[in-house]
Amino acid sequence: MTGYPSVDKPWLKYYSKEAINELLPECTMYKYLWENNKDHLGDVALTYFNKKITYGEMFAMIDKTARAFLSIGVKSGDVVTVLMLNQPEMVYMLYGLNKIGAVCCVVNVLSSEKELIHYLSEGKSKYFVALDVFFEKSYAAAKEYGVNKFVYVPLWQSLGALKNKLYRLKVKEPVYTDEFVMSWNAFLAGASAVHEVVPAKYEKDKCTVIGHTGGTTGTPKGVMLSDYAFNSIPTQEKWVFHYLPHEKHMDMVVPFAVYGLSNNLHVALSFGLNVILIPKVDPEKTDELLQKYKPNHIASIPSYWTAIPRSKRLKDVSWLKTAAAGGAGMTNELENDLNDFFKTHNGRTHFMNGYGMSEVCGGVCLQTDDCAELGSVGIPLCQTVVAAFDTDTMEEKKCGEIGELCIKAPSMMLGYVDNEKETAQIMKRHEDGVWIHTGDLGYVAESGAVYVKGRIKRVYITQRNGVVSKIFPDRIEQTILAHQRVEECCAICISQEDGTYLPVAYLVLREKGVDHVKIQEEVSALCKQDLPEYAQPVSYIFLDALPKTAVGKVDYRALEAQAAKAE
Residue-wise pLDDT tens digits, 151-198:
999 998 998 888 888 888 888 889 899 999 999 999 999 999 998 999
Residues of the chain with CATH 3.40.50.12780: 5-24+213-454, 29-201
Residue 324: the pLDDT is 95
Cα distance between residue 528 and residue 506, in whole Å: 17
Answer for the pair 365, 381: CB distance below 8 angstroms, yes or no. yes
Question: 556 with 458: CB under 8 angstroms?
Answer: yes
What pLDDT is attached to residue 217? 43
What does the pLDDT average to over 242-257? 93
Least confident of 143-152, 410-419, 460-469: 460-469
CATH topology of domain 5-24+213-454: Rossmann fold (3.40.50)
Residue 219 has pLDDT above 80, yes or no: no
The amino acid occupying position 15 is Y
pLDDT of residue 567: 66
> Distance between CA atoms of 231 and 235, rounded to whole angstroms?
6
Measured distance CA(397)–CA(487) in Å, rounded: 32
Q: Is the pLDDT of residue 530 over 90?
A: no
Per CATH, the homologous superfamily of domain 29-201 is ANL, N-terminal domain (3.40.50.12780)
Name, in order, each residue with C-beta under 8 angstroms of 275's C-beta and a sequence gap of 6 or more. 45, 46, 47, 249, 250, 251, 264, 265, 268, 269
**Measuring CA to CA, which residue among 3, 1, 13 is closest to residue 401?**
3
Give the single-character DSSP code of 39.
T
Cβ pair 320, 241 in contact under 8 A:
no
Residue 322: per-residue pLDDT: 95
Which residue from 133, 33, 12 is spatially nearest to 84, judged by alpha carbons? Answer: 133
Partners of 468 in beta bridges: 463
Q: Is the pLDDT of residue 424 over 60?
A: yes
Query: What pLDDT is stored for residue 216 in this prediction?
Result: 44
Closest CA to 363 of 204, 551, 222: 551
Q: 275 near 86, Cβ under 8 Å?
A: no
If pLDDT is split at 50, 70 and 90, which confidence band does 22 have?
A: very high
pTM over 0.75: yes
Q: Give yes or no for residue 55 having a pLDDT over 60.
A: yes
Give the list of residues 6+ apart from residue 253 with CB closer than 8 angstroms, or none: 86, 259, 260, 263, 264, 299, 300, 301, 551, 552
Q: Where are the beta strands (DSSP E) in 26-183?
A: 44-48, 51-54, 79-83, 103-106, 127-131, 149-153, 181-183
Of 272, 98, 90, nearest in space to 184 by CA? 90
Q: Are strands 207-212 and 403-408 parallel, antiparallel or unpaired?
A: unpaired
% of the chain at pLDDT higher than 90: 76
Rounded to an integer, what is the distance from CA 145 to the centroid of its chain? Answer: 28
Average pLDDT value for the chain: 92
pLDDT over threshold 50, residue 254: yes
Q: Where in the chain is the domain with CATH 3.30.300.30?
A: 458-566
Q: Reply yes or no on whether the pLDDT at 112 is more than 90.
A: no
* Least confidently predicted of 39-53, 355-369, 548-562: 548-562
When mean pLDDT is compared across 20-24, 300-304, 333-337, the lowest value belongs to 300-304
The predicted pLDDT at position 214 comes to 64
Q: Which segment of 35-39, 213-217, 385-389, 467-471 scores lowest on mean pLDDT?
A: 213-217
In this structure, which CATH number among 3.40.50.300, 3.40.50.800, 3.40.50.720, 3.30.300.30 belongs to the domain 458-566? 3.30.300.30
Distance of alpha carbon 95 from alpha carbon 102, whole angstroms: 10
The yes-or-no verdict on residue 466 having pLDDT over 70 is no
Closest to 114 measured CA to CA, from 137, 133, 81: 137
Measured between alpha carbons, how far is 102 from 70 in angstroms, rounded to an integer?
10
C-alpha distances out from residue 191 to 68, 72, 149, 414, Å: 4, 9, 15, 32
CA distance 159 to 162: 8
Q: What does the alpha-carbon distance between residue 546 and residue 488 come to, in Å, rounded to a whole number?
A: 8
Q: How confident is the model over 489-524, as pLDDT tens digits?
A: 999 998 876 667 899 999 999 998 899 999 999 999
* pLDDT of 520: 96
Rg, Å, the chain Cα set: 24
